Amino acid sequence: MIVLQMITLSKSGVYLTLHFYYHSRKIAHIKNKLGKFFNLYFFFQTIAIKIAERIRDFPWITTNFMNYLTHFYPNGEQKNNHQQSFCNFFCNKVITLFLLLSIALLSTGCASTTADGDVSDPMESLNRKIYAFNEGFDRMILKPAAEGYQKLPSPVQTGTHNFFSNLDDVVIIINGILQLKLEQFSSDILRFSVNTTYGFLGLIDLGTPMGLPKHQASFADTLGFWGVGSGPYVVIPILGPSSVRDAPSLVVDYLLHPINQVSPASASFGLSAVRTVDLRADLLKTTEMRDELALDPYSFTRESYYQWRQNRIYDDNPPPPKAIFDDFEDFEE
């Protein structure tokens, strides 16, 4: 009887020890997650404040806020104070919350284990609705603007494209050094210097004939280069196809781009609009071919996006896809 009691007590002790060990590990894991969360929060809050400063430069936004708040605060001084508070809350906190939601999705299991080239679309029903909205927006606004843009004289189109391509090189240079591609970095620095100085701010592409090719790199490519998985596929309103990893990266690229430094903000917005039309004009033939040949344009766009991003990360030399029967090689031996 005593032996049975001792065995029972020993089992209870082992159980309590394992239980305590498990929960201590769990608490340490939670503390680690909270630390990362708050670090991300303060980092993206800094980015959100910079975006908020740009938003406040648009007079029509602040005017609409003022008209809205007039209904609630008839006193002018009180209205202005509350207007500033409202602007701060809207611009800083709401944008920060949006970015944190993206990071929260990135930290989920499905997001962290999805490798580049592997299609994951758990939000397909929502993505299809946003895709349909984007197609309507493109049909009504972007595509007609791009078609009108293509009617301009060829030198005007070429000069405009070269100008924005030269500005894009700033983002490419920064991400090149982040990826430790020193040869590409030095080539891009020289290309940008030549085109900016002797090519009239990039209107004339002198770098390509000199053997300084155009490279492509974004912060999403940088994250992929260092092994961050793409995560589930998402469709962003107006902006189009993306992924959980790539969507927050757009904010980083935007803050790094020289257009973001242009003042006033209305001029920056105008340059961004022209750049968007120029990019859309380059894709006119591609989208026409997609609409004619693809049975499901949504699936075609999704698959094409993943392949395009994988080629960007691996410099047009992605690893070969895994064969279906590779997992059965052990059985053959």
> How far apart, in whole angstroms, are the C-alpha atoms of residue 10 and residue 17?
10
Alpha helix positions (H), the chain? 2-56, 59-70, 76-88, 95-106, 109-113, 124-137, 143-149, 154-178, 182-198, 219-225, 246-256, 265-282, 284-293, 297-313, 329-332
Global pTM value:
0.66
The per-residue pLDDT for range 252-296, each reduced to its tens digit, is 999 999 998 888 888 999 999 999 999 999 999 999 999 998 899
Q: Output DSSP code: residue 212.
A: -
Q: Please give the pLDDT value at position 108.
A: 46
Q: Please give the pLDDT value at position 326.
A: 53
Other beta carbons less than 10 A from residue 270's beta carbon: 13
Mean per-residue pLDDT, 170-192: 94
Q: Please give the pLDDT value at position 300.
A: 94
Sign of the alpha-carbon torsion through 26, 30, 31, 33: positive
Mean per-residue pLDDT, 215-228: 93
Q: Which of 59-68, 111-120, 304-313 has the lowest mean pLDDT?
A: 59-68
- Using alpha carbons, select from 227, 211, 245 the residue that is nearest to residue 179: 227
- Whether the per-residue pLDDT at 23 is higher than 60: the answer is no
Mean per-residue pLDDT, 230-256: 92
Q: Please give the pLDDT value at position 331.
A: 41
Query: If you write DSSP's letter for every residue of 130-197 in order, what string do you get?
Result: HHHHHHHHIIIIIHHHHHHHTTS-HHHHHHHHHHHHHHHHHHHHHHHHHTT-HHHHHHHHHHHHHHHH
Do 144 and 233 touch, CB atoms closer than 8 A? no
Q: Please give the pLDDT value at position 318.
A: 83
> How far apart, in whole angstroms, are the C-alpha atoms of residue 46 and residue 99?
11
> How far apart, in whole angstroms, are the C-alpha atoms of residue 253 and residue 170?
10
> How far apart, in whole angstroms, are the C-alpha atoms of residue 36 and residue 191?
39
> How far apart, in whole angstroms, are the C-alpha atoms of residue 181 and residue 184?
5
Q: Which of 43-47, 95-99, 190-194, 269-273 has the lowest mean pLDDT?
A: 95-99
Mean pLDDT (the chain, rounded): 77
> How far lies 187's CA from each of 117, 165, 211, 313, in Å?
29, 15, 9, 18
Q: Please give the pLDDT value at position 215.
A: 95
Q: Please give the pLDDT value at position 247.
A: 92
> How far apart, in whole angstroms, are the C-alpha atoms of residue 41 and residue 21?
30
The per-residue pLDDT for range 122-178, each reduced to its tens digit, is 999 999 999 999 999 999 999 999 999 999 999 999 999 999 999 999 999 999 999
Tokens of 6: 């001792």
